[in-house]
Copies of this chain bind each other. A is one copy, B any other.
Amino acid sequence: MIAIDWGTSSFRACLLGPDGAVRERLASARGIMAVPDRQFAASLREAIGPWLARGETRVLMAGMIGSRQGWQEAPYLPCPAGAAELARALVALAFDWAELRLVPGLATRDDAGIAEVMRGEETQIAGAVARGEVPASGLVCLPGTHAKWARLDCDGRILGFATHMTGEVFAALRGHTILGRMMREAPHDPPAFAAGLARAGQPGGLLHHLFGVRAEALAGRIGEEAGASYLSGILIGHEVRAALAEAGTAEVLLIGEAALAARYAEAIAALGGRTRLAAPDAAAAGLFAIGRAG
């Protein structure tokens, strides 16, 4: 089968073997926002034409391609849901050149009744479940612009989840406040990041800790090259503290890019938790699992 993770700003396709192993892969910046005039069918045929020509016709797609802004909406499924529920809710697209199906996203509500949605992450989580990566705690974190924390039952179904706007808040603060003026582009600075994590554990609250980035810079204790790492530590520290206060300190599976996941691992370890890092290609593994469950 062909497994496709088609997001807002990226397109990733994997040709899978009958055992689910990735045989070939494609990646481009042709996310749904970069497809002219919503020509999704043409864009897809162009990208995976060689695989189709070899007789592969089963195509399963996850991510924003199934949103209202994408090809066709695959309505959100309520939690709890796992691979079996997702498989039963696949949305088929009527074309004669392939068997195209969209994976729905998931919706939940927190204790206060505030709605939350995810689209794409449910498939990555299903992949981690299929590969036996989820710890007994059932806790999974996907760091990023809008970081997701999900809790699973012992059958691998997602019971609920919460989103933290950490990555986007970081970018807005760095790009559009007084804090950014004290930062220069530089590699990750581990001591500054650790200082930010420690700061997040002190009293005063996030809005006060943010102002301290300026104070520490003015005092010369955080240099221009270290400012962004210090800010990142404060934000990730606050996110992880809040998430673990909700969930209890436990083992957490991290699904995401290795460098960012390592920072979350450090933040979780600082609070006494443990982490595992999911293997690459979680989305492809999830699409394979959903395809088999259907």
Contact = CB atoms under 8 A, between A and B. Distances in A.
Interface of A: 110-112, 114-117, 146, 162-166, 168-169, 171-173, 175-178, 199, 202-208, 210-212, 215-216, 218-219, 235, 238-239, 241-243, 245-246
A205 B243 contact: yes
Given A115-B219, A205-B239, A208-B239, 20 more contacts: A110-B202, A111-B203, A112-B202, A114-B212, A114-B215, A115-B215, A116-B215, A163-B208, A164-B205, A164-B208, A165-B177, A165-B207, A169-B173, A169-B210, A171-B176, A172-B172, A172-B177, A203-B242, A203-B246, A206-B238
A66 to B, nearest CB: 16
A215 to B, nearest CB: 5
A246 B205 CA distance: 9
A146 B211 contact: yes
A203 to B, nearest CB: 6
Contacts of A238: 205-207
B207 A164 contact: yes
A110 B246 contact: no
Given A169-B173, A169-B207, A178-B168, A111 B202 contact: yes
A86 B111 CA distance: 51
A178 to B, nearest CB: 7
Nearest to A173: B172
B165 A176 contact: no
21 contacts: A111-B202, A115-B216, A115-B218, A115-B219, A117-B215, A146-B211, A164-B207, A164-B208, A165-B210, A166-B207, A168-B177, A169-B173, A172-B172, A172-B173, A175-B176, A203-B246, A204-B242, A205-B238, A205-B242, A206-B206, A208-B242
A114 to B, nearest CB: 5
A173 to B, nearest CB: 6
A247 to B, nearest CB: 10
B162 A241 contact: no
A33 to B, nearest CB: 13
Contacts of A208: 162-165, 239, 242-243
